[in-house]
Amino acid sequence: MSEPKFRAMIMAGGRGQRMAASHPDVPKPLVTVAGRSLLETMIRRVLDAGASQVVLALRHRADEIRDHVIAVSDLPHDRISFLVEDEPLGTIGSLHGLRGTNQTVLVTNGDLLSAVDLVDLLRDHHERRSDLTIATHDEKHRIRLGEVLTDSHGKILDYHEKPTKVYRISSGIYCLDPRILALIEERGWLGFPTLVKRVIEGRLAVQEYFHEDPWIDVNDEHDLVQARKMAREDPAAFGFDPAAVKS
C-alpha cells in the first residue's frame, strides 16, 4: 500500500532578530549547518519524505531566501513554490493560502535542525485518524533557585534545591488535514496556539506524536554552535553525508 500524498509548508518568514545579532548579513533560515542552509536541509527532508509540493511561506528578506533556493541547482524546483506575506500572518496564518487542498499538509518551521522521522509521523497521523497531529518532545530545565512546595493553607510540604523540571514541548512540526484548514476562515494574523484551541473547541481529533530524536530550534549563535556539534556527531540522522561534515 502506497503512502498517502501530502503537501508541505515550511514557515520561513520571521525576522530572526536574535540570530541577526551575530549574523546580520544573512536571514536566519539561511545560516548554515554542515555546509547547507537550515532551510535547504528542511526542504530536502520533506521532499525525501514524499511531499508532492513544498510551499515556502516567506516575508522578511523574502527575495534573498527565494534567490538562495532557486540557486540550489539540484532541488526539484517544479515541486517548490513561494508564498510571500505582504503583511504579517503570524505563526500559522499562511496556511490560509492552502485552503481547498484535499491532501494532508505537513507544516514545519524553517529554522529547525531535526531528525524527526517525518514518514513515521505522517503514518501515525493517518493510522490514528487524527485531524491535527503535533510532534512533541520533552525538554529539561534546571531551576537556579530552590522550589518550595506548599498546600492551600501555606504549610510547607517539601523543599527542592534547584530541581530539574521536564516540560512537554511542541517540536514545531505538525500534520493537518483539510478540515483544519477550513477553520482558517479569513486571511490574517493567526498564531498556532489559537488554531489549536479552535480545533479542540470544534471537537476534532488532536493527537501528539512524541519522539526522542535529535532536534534543536536554532534561534541564536549559541543554538547554531550546538546545531553544528549535533551534525558532526550524527550527520546521517539529519540527512547529511558523513564524509561532507567537517570536524
Element (H, E) at 204: none
Cell 525525501 -> residue: 48
Cell 539529519 -> residue: 238
- The confidence score (pLDDT) of residue 1 equals 44
Task: Using DSSP bridges, classify how beta strands 6-11 and 53-58 pair: parallel, antiparallel or unpaired.
Answer: parallel
| Band (16; pLDDT cuts 50, 70, 90) | confident
Mean pLDDT for the chain overall: 95
Given a cut of 70, whether residue 11 has pLDDT beyond it is yes
- The confidence score (pLDDT) of residue 242 equals 87
- The confidence score (pLDDT) of residue 4 equals 67
Q: What does the pLDDT look like over 118-175, one tens digit per residue?
A: 999 999 999 999 999 999 999 999 999 999 999 999 999 999 999 999 999 999 999 9
From the list 26, 86, 76, the residue with the least C-alpha distance to 54 is 76
| Band (3; pLDDT cuts 50, 70, 90) | low
Task: Using DSSP bridges, classify how beta strands 206-210 and 164-176 pair: parallel, antiparallel or unpaired.
Answer: unpaired
Given a cut of 90, whether residue 247 has pLDDT beyond it is no
Over residues 184-208, mean pLDDT:
95
d(CA 87, CA 208): 31
From the list 111, 113, 163, the residue with the least C-alpha distance to 142 is 163
Q: What does the pLDDT look like over 75-133, one tens digit per residue?
A: 999 999 999 999 999 999 999 999 999 999 999 999 999 999 999 999 999 999 999 99
pTM surpassing 0.85? yes
Q: Are 199 and 183 in contact (CB under 8 A)?
A: yes
- The confidence score (pLDDT) of residue 244 equals 73
Residue ranges of the domains in the chain?
Answer: 6-136+170-244
d(CA 191, CA 110): 16
Given a cut of 50, whether residue 194 has pLDDT beyond it is yes
d(CA 178, CA 246): 42
Sign for the pseudo-dihedral over CA of 225, 116, 210, 173: positive
Task: Give the residue with greater pLDDT, 86 vs 213.
Answer: 213
- The confidence score (pLDDT) of residue 5 equals 84
- Measured between its terminal Cα atoms, the distance across the chain in Å is 41
| Band (74; pLDDT cuts 50, 70, 90) | very high
Cell 491532501 -> residue: 103
Q: State the DSSP string of 32-43.
A: EETTEEHHHHHH
CATH number, span 6-136+170-244: 3.90.550.10
